[in-house]
Amino acid sequence: MPGDISMTPAPIRTSINRANAQHSTGPRSDAGKQRSALNALTHGLTARTAVLPTEDPAAYEQLHRQFLDEYRPATPTETQLVRELADTSWRLNRIPVLEADVLARAQAPAPSSEPPSFDIVDAHRLLASLSVHYQRLSRQFQKTLNELREIQLDRLERLRRDLRDAASVLEFHKKKGLPYDPAEDGFVFSKTETEAFAQRTMRLNQAWRNEDFTLLGFRTPRNPRVRPVDAIC
């Protein structure tokens, strides 16, 4: 067919497309620019970078530090999961701002001689899209949090086991009158930490064996199924 660009050789077709692109400057009217801006309202909710150029990096770093202080990651994996929590939380906190902007634009459209290109129907559509993003990010946050808690619980349980073992070996050496450094057996705890744990454990064991033992003013019945050492860890 004459004039059909699909029949034009590829190099010429590429040149034509580039020439046409030079004349494409995007929306010119206020209404057109408004619609273009609204189309980008969810930008960043799925981006790899959490902080947008228009946002405050210092505020993000403060949020990240708060998560670090709360969860105190001790391994690279835990550190990465805490970063993901901060990223997801930052994106979640952005959504109410975007929703408010949508409603403000719908209620007070930009002055234009053209018919309104954005109304309450468009606002509801965008709000529904933001709601989907919010639900997705909320699920992602909870999944990451669950994974972090599981990893930290496993690590702490291993540390508790090792500390109990180190304390047992230390007390055995003390009864034999022999010096002992937990590092000799590969424990990461100092002798002071191990001794403090052993003494605390023995005091609590004695307290749990006492039928008159009260905790915070309430009588604590003795439960033979509960091992005192486990109860303190």
Residue 15 has pLDDT above 80, yes or no: no
Q: Are residues 59 and 45 in the same domain?
A: yes
Residue 51 has pLDDT above 50, yes or no: yes
pLDDT score, position 86: 97
Q: Are residues 149 and 55 in the same domain?
A: yes
φ and ψ at residue 137, rounded to 5 degrees: -65, -35
Last residue in a domain, options 157, 178, 202: 157
The domain total for the chain is 2
| Residues in Cβ contact with 117 at an 8 Å cutoff, skipping those fewer than 6 apart | 31, 32, 34, 35
| Residues in Cβ contact with 22 at an 8 Å cutoff, skipping those fewer than 6 apart | none
**Model confidence pLDDT, tens digit, residues 52-72:** 888 999 999 999 999 999 999
| Token couple for 1 | 């067919």
Nearest partner of 222 among 232, 210, 230, 204, judged by Cα: 210
Least confident of 7-11, 51-55, 137-141: 7-11
